[in-house]
Amino acid sequence: MGERPVRKRTDEDADLRWWRETGEKELNQVLLWRWDPIGVADSFPYTANEYSTYCPQLFAALRAGTNPEGLAWRLGEMEKDGWGEVYSSDEHLQNVALLLIDWYRNSISRWDEFGAPHW
Protein backbone atom coordinates (compact mmCIF):
# COMPACT_ATOMS: atom_id res chain seq x y z
CA MET A 1 0.00 0.00 0.00
CA GLY A 2 1.37 3.42 -0.95
CA GLU A 3 4.54 2.02 -2.50
CA ARG A 4 4.04 3.33 -6.03
CA PRO A 5 4.41 7.09 -6.56
CA VAL A 6 1.25 9.03 -7.22
CA ARG A 7 0.87 9.70 -10.93
CA LYS A 8 0.86 13.42 -11.57
CA ARG A 9 -1.93 14.19 -14.01
CA THR A 10 -1.27 16.75 -16.69
CA ASP A 11 -4.84 17.37 -17.86
CA GLU A 12 -6.11 20.10 -15.54
CA ASP A 13 -9.63 20.07 -17.02
CA ALA A 14 -9.93 16.32 -16.41
CA ASP A 15 -8.62 16.75 -12.86
CA LEU A 16 -11.20 19.39 -12.08
CA ARG A 17 -14.03 17.37 -13.65
CA TRP A 18 -12.99 14.32 -11.61
CA TRP A 19 -12.88 16.51 -8.48
CA ARG A 20 -16.35 17.99 -9.05
CA GLU A 21 -18.00 14.76 -10.17
CA THR A 22 -16.38 12.23 -7.87
CA GLY A 23 -13.26 13.18 -5.94
CA GLU A 24 -14.63 15.67 -3.44
CA LYS A 25 -17.53 13.41 -2.38
CA GLU A 26 -15.29 10.39 -2.03
CA LEU A 27 -12.56 12.22 -0.14
CA ASN A 28 -15.09 13.64 2.30
CA GLN A 29 -16.24 10.07 3.04
CA VAL A 30 -12.68 8.76 3.43
CA LEU A 31 -11.93 11.51 5.94
CA LEU A 32 -15.08 10.82 7.94
CA TRP A 33 -14.76 7.05 8.04
CA ARG A 34 -10.98 6.59 8.19
CA TRP A 35 -9.39 9.76 9.64
CA ASP A 36 -12.13 11.08 12.00
CA PRO A 37 -9.81 12.68 14.58
CA ILE A 38 -12.65 13.99 16.76
CA GLY A 39 -14.73 10.80 16.65
CA VAL A 40 -17.91 12.04 14.98
CA ALA A 41 -18.46 9.25 12.44
CA ASP A 42 -20.89 7.50 14.81
CA SER A 43 -23.22 10.48 14.44
CA PHE A 44 -23.56 10.03 10.68
CA PRO A 45 -25.50 11.37 8.75
CA TYR A 46 -25.52 14.51 10.90
CA THR A 47 -21.74 14.76 10.64
CA ALA A 48 -21.41 13.75 6.98
CA ASN A 49 -19.65 17.01 6.05
CA GLU A 50 -17.62 17.50 9.24
CA TYR A 51 -14.27 17.40 7.42
CA SER A 52 -15.33 18.81 4.03
CA THR A 53 -13.37 22.04 4.51
CA TYR A 54 -10.14 20.03 4.47
CA CYS A 55 -10.86 18.33 1.14
CA PRO A 56 -9.54 21.07 -1.20
CA GLN A 57 -6.22 21.29 0.67
CA LEU A 58 -5.74 17.55 0.57
CA PHE A 59 -6.72 17.36 -3.09
CA ALA A 60 -4.07 19.97 -3.89
CA ALA A 61 -1.46 18.02 -1.91
CA LEU A 62 -2.36 14.71 -3.55
CA ARG A 63 -2.41 16.28 -6.99
CA ALA A 64 1.05 17.74 -6.35
CA GLY A 65 2.38 14.27 -5.50
CA THR A 66 2.98 14.90 -1.79
CA ASN A 67 4.59 11.86 -0.17
CA PRO A 68 3.03 9.92 2.75
CA GLU A 69 5.15 11.71 5.35
CA GLY A 70 4.07 15.09 3.99
CA LEU A 71 0.40 14.10 3.99
CA ALA A 72 0.65 12.71 7.52
CA TRP A 73 2.23 15.97 8.67
CA ARG A 74 -0.50 17.97 6.90
CA LEU A 75 -3.25 15.92 8.57
CA GLY A 76 -1.65 16.51 11.98
CA GLU A 77 -1.42 20.24 11.26
CA MET A 78 -5.09 20.27 10.26
CA GLU A 79 -5.96 18.68 13.59
CA LYS A 80 -3.83 21.18 15.48
CA ASP A 81 -5.25 24.17 13.59
CA GLY A 82 -8.85 22.95 13.80
CA TRP A 83 -9.04 21.67 17.36
CA GLY A 84 -5.94 22.99 19.12
CA GLU A 85 -4.10 19.68 19.38
CA VAL A 86 -3.26 16.54 17.42
CA TYR A 87 -5.67 13.77 18.41
CA SER A 88 -4.37 11.06 16.08
CA SER A 89 -1.28 8.97 16.71
CA ASP A 90 1.64 9.25 14.30
CA GLU A 91 0.90 5.71 13.16
CA HIS A 92 -2.75 6.55 12.42
CA LEU A 93 -1.77 9.70 10.50
CA GLN A 94 0.74 7.68 8.45
CA ASN A 95 -1.84 4.97 7.71
CA VAL A 96 -4.42 7.53 6.64
CA ALA A 97 -1.84 9.25 4.43
CA LEU A 98 -1.06 5.94 2.69
CA LEU A 99 -4.77 5.25 2.33
CA LEU A 100 -5.33 8.69 0.78
CA ILE A 101 -2.59 8.13 -1.78
CA ASP A 102 -4.02 4.75 -2.74
CA TRP A 103 -7.57 6.12 -2.83
CA TYR A 104 -6.51 9.03 -5.05
CA ARG A 105 -4.71 6.80 -7.53
CA ASN A 106 -7.53 4.25 -7.62
CA SER A 107 -10.35 6.77 -7.83
CA ILE A 108 -8.76 8.61 -10.74
CA SER A 109 -7.97 5.36 -12.50
CA ARG A 110 -11.56 4.18 -12.10
CA TRP A 111 -12.92 7.54 -13.27
CA ASP A 112 -10.58 7.58 -16.28
CA GLU A 113 -11.84 4.12 -17.25
CA PHE A 114 -15.56 4.34 -16.44
CA GLY A 115 -16.47 7.98 -15.84
CA ALA A 116 -18.31 9.40 -12.87
CA PRO A 117 -20.40 7.05 -10.73
CA HIS A 118 -24.16 7.51 -10.85
CA TRP A 119 -24.93 8.52 -7.28
pLDDT tens readout for residues 5-49: 444 555 678 888 999 999 999 999 999 999 999 999 999 999 999
* Average pLDDT of the segment spanning 74-103: 94
Q: What is the 8-class DSSP label of residue 63? A: H
The number of beta carbons lying within 10 Å of the beta carbon of residue 107 is 18
Q: Name the band, by pLDDT with cuts 50, 70 and 90, for residue 70.
A: very high
Please measure the distance between the N-terminal and C-terminal CA atoms of the chain and give it in whole angstroms.
27
Looking at residue 88, what DSSP letter applies? S
Task: Provide the pLDDT for residue 116.
Answer: 67
Identify which of 64, 59, 61 has the alpha carbon closest to the alpha carbon of residue 16.
59
Distance CA 41, CA 47 (A): 7
* Bigger pLDDT: 75 vs 114: 75
pLDDT value, residue 4: 47
Predicted confidence at residue 40, as pLDDT, reads: 94
Quickly state the pLDDT bin for 2 (edges 50, 70, 90): very low
Q: Which long-range contacts (CB under 8 A, 24 or more apart) does 15-19 make?
A: 15/63, 18/107, 18/108, 18/111, 18/116, 19/59
Higher pLDDT, 102 or 12: 102
